[in-house]
Amino acid sequence: MSNSTQETESPVQSALLDSTTMQTPQQYIGSYWMRLRSGELGSLPIILGLVLIALIFQSANQNFLTPRNLVNIVVQMAGFAVIGYGMVFVLLLGEIDLSAGYVSAVGGVTTAILLRDSLMNPALSWIDWWNVIPIALAITTAIGFLHGFLITFFQLPSFIVTLAGLLAWNGVVLLIVGDGGTVNIQNPVVRNLASEVLPPIWGWIIIGAFVLLVTLLEVTTARARQKAGLRAKPPTIIVAQFALMSVAGAFIAYLFNINRALNETAPPQAGMPVIAAIMLLLLLLLTFILERTRFGRYVYAVGGNKEAARRAGVNVERIRVLVFMLSGLMAGMGGIVLASRLKSVATDAGGGNLLLYVIAAAVIGGTSLFGGRGKVVSAVLGALVVASVENGMGLLNLSSGIKFIITGLVLLAAVVIDALSRRQQQASGRR
């Protein structure tokens, strides 16, 4: 019965066996092209988008691509990116966290208030930057836990619970900041978090270490896979990627270390912002968690098919609660960064465009609103786009009406690309 069909299957059998041999660079590029065609666009649209943005704003204003302004953009994007890291995890589950903006403000205002009170109240004199930051982060993580608990225990939509959170935490911020309107940050460490730069040599070391680490991981993975007889990335491609990353990394390190003081009499100003190093570190850590651990795998699984994950023994509700806690933690960190940038917290903290920019950053970076698809790095790339557009429009002195319209169009374009690539994947999925 089965003999005849096995014969007809045998030419295809070699296709699977093919996968156990080393790929040639041509094959690798070929399969990358296939993935692109089937709608797995990865970071490609955003890199093209960034080039386009740079060209447009640079042609309109020569100051856009100066080292000084590029560092400004990096500092500007840091808050969006850090809050966006948490948002990526939430979106991967197919959920949303509308409270992230005001939860970040809770983190910022807690830090600012406790630091201010520690100067006036002897009972609080033990408070310093190194213990106030963990306290603030613990509070925002607890808020995330509360949201996650309400969502999973009462089986409520995250949209509604975090919408309630958006209102309630806005209220809390208003109450804490009080009539004064603004709480200034005196503590030098927190105050300079967003503006401090590293000595020039450290920029080279950090970026160099990043490039080497990524390449080392690629090489060891490819070697181990080859040894195990599995399809491995061809060395030519790894070398090409290493070369490309080295050039880009060297260029960025060089940019960071150019003196960006406004005139020659001013004290020299150069170096990689501390905040950029923090962003990079968080990116590595969270990417590891998302792509190399069971927890990360379960986040994707719950976003892809909740029921399948449940039947496979995954504790779906625990994963959801943990992700909302992570979102709270990242919002808290982002809130402290934003507070440090302004060197104060005002009643409007966490409001305005913040939440929309954060969600837009994650989506523009390639994380799907429909769950299951996305990467941590999309928060950084998206935040870079959002901050570049905001910064560029600021340089052009556009009215806020125009700014809103353009930001809206950028977000719309990102969502359309997401929907199109999704449709393409579905069309090519059921061949």
Q: Are strands 182-184 and 344-346 parallel, antiparallel or unpaired?
A: antiparallel
Closest separation in Å from C-beta 332 to other proteins: 20
Does 420 bind other proteins (CB under 8 A)? Our answer is: no
Does 295 bind other proteins (CB under 8 A)? Our answer is: yes
Does 16 bind other proteins (CB under 8 A)? Our answer is: yes
Binding to other proteins by CB under 8 A, coded x per residue (else -) over 20-49, reads x-----------------x-----------
Tokens of 193: 């978090």
Tokens of 423: 């449709």
Does 430 bind other proteins (CB under 8 A)? Our answer is: yes
Question: Which of 42, 186, 297, 403 lies at the binding interface for other proteins (CB under 8 A)?
Answer: 297
Single-letter code of the amino acid located at 278: I
First-last CA distance in the chain? 27
| Separation in Å, CA 426 to CA 46, 200, 304, 305, 380 | 22, 48, 14, 15, 27
Tokens of 319: 């994963």
Closest separation in Å from C-beta 310 to other proteins: 9
Binding to other proteins by CB under 8 A, coded x per residue (else -) over 66-105, reads ----------------------------------------
Cα(126)–Cα(119) distance, integer angstroms: 10
Cα(79)–Cα(43) distance, integer angstroms: 21
List the interface residues with other proteins, window 165-224 (CB under 8 A): 224
Does 7 bind other proteins (CB under 8 A)? Our answer is: no
List the interface residues with other proteins, window 219-258 (CB under 8 A): 224-225, 228-231
Cβ closer to other proteins: 67 or 94? 94
Q: Which listed range, 132-140, 239-247, 300-308, 331-339, lies at the site for other proteins (CB under 8 A)?
A: 300-308
For residue 315, the SS3 value is coil
Closest separation in Å from C-beta 321 to other proteins: 12
How buried is 317 (Cβ within 10 angstroms: 0-12 exposed, 13-18 middle, 19+ buried)? middle
Does 12 bind other proteins (CB under 8 A)? Our answer is: yes
Cβ closer to other proteins: 242 or 295? 295
Binding to other proteins by CB under 8 A, coded x per residue (else -) over 325-364, reads ----------------------------------------
φ/ψ (deg, to 5) at 346:
-115, 175
Does 276 bind other proteins (CB under 8 A)? Our answer is: no
Q: Which residues lie below 8 Å from residue 392, measured CB to CB, with a gap of 6+?
A: 53, 56, 57, 60, 61, 64
For residue 398, the SS3 value is coil
| Separation in Å, CA 126 to CA 98, 118, 246, 254, 329 | 34, 7, 45, 41, 23
Cβ closer to other proteins: 401 or 429? 429
Picking from 298, 324, 367, the residue whose alpha carbon sits closest to that of residue 141 is 324
Residue that the structure tokens 């625990």 belong to: 318
Closest separation in Å from C-beta 193 to other proteins: 27
Residues binding other proteins (CB under 8 A): 1-2, 5-6, 9-10, 12-13, 15-16, 19-20, 38, 224-225, 228-231, 288-289, 292-295, 297-298, 300-301, 303-305, 307-309, 311-314, 372-373, 425-426, 428-431
